[in-house]
Amino acid sequence: MNKDRTSIIKTASIIALIGNLLLAGLKIFAGLFSGSLAVLGDGIDSSMDVLIAIMSLLVARVISKPADKSHPWGHGRAETVVTSLLSMILFFAGGQLVLHSGQHLIEGTREQVPSLIALVATLVSISGKIFLAWTQYHLGKEANSAMLKANGKNMAADVLTSVGVLIGIGCSMLFNIGAIDLITAILVGLWVIKNAVSIFLETNVELMDGSQNNECYKLLFEAVHSVLGAEHPHRARMRRIAIFWDIDLDIEVDRSLTIAQAHEIATKVENAVKERIDHVFDIMIHIEPAGNKQVEGYGLSEKSL
First to last CA, the chain: 32
Q: Which domain holds residue 260?
A: 214-304
Q: Please, are residues 133 and 27 in contact by the beta-carbon 8 Å criterion? A: no
H/E run at residue 272: helix 259-276
Asked if 126 and 76 sit in the same domain, the reply is: yes
Q: What is the pLDDT of residues 209-218, one digit of tens each?
A: 666 667 888 9
Say whether 283 sits in a helix, a strand or coil.
strand
Residue 265 has pLDDT above 90, yes or no: yes
Tell whether the torsion through CA atoms of 28, 33, 35 and 39 is positive or negative.
negative
Boundary-marking domain end, from 164, 181, 207: 207
Greater confidence (286 vs 41) lies with 286
Q: How confident is the model at residue 267 (pLDDT cuts 50, 70, 90)?
A: very high
Highest mean pLDDT among 41-50, 99-108, 252-261: 252-261
169-173, 230-234, 241-245: least confidently modelled range: 241-245
pLDDT band at 225 (very low <50, low <70, confident <90, very high): very high
pLDDT attached to residue 86: 78
Q: What percent of the chain has pLDDT over 90?
A: 21
Query: Pick from 173, 207, 241: which residue ends a domain?
Result: 207
Q: What is the dihedral of CA 187, 188, 191, 197, to 10 degrees?
A: -120
Structural domain count of the chain: 2
Q: What is the pLDDT of residue 274?
A: 92
CATH number for 156 = 1.20.1510.10
Q: Report the percent of the chain where pLDDT is more than 70.
A: 90
Say if residue 120 is in the same domain as residue 186: yes
Would you state the pLDDT for residue 43? 83
Contact 48, 90 (CB under 8 A): yes
Q: pLDDT tier at 177 (50, 70, 90 boundaries)?
A: confident
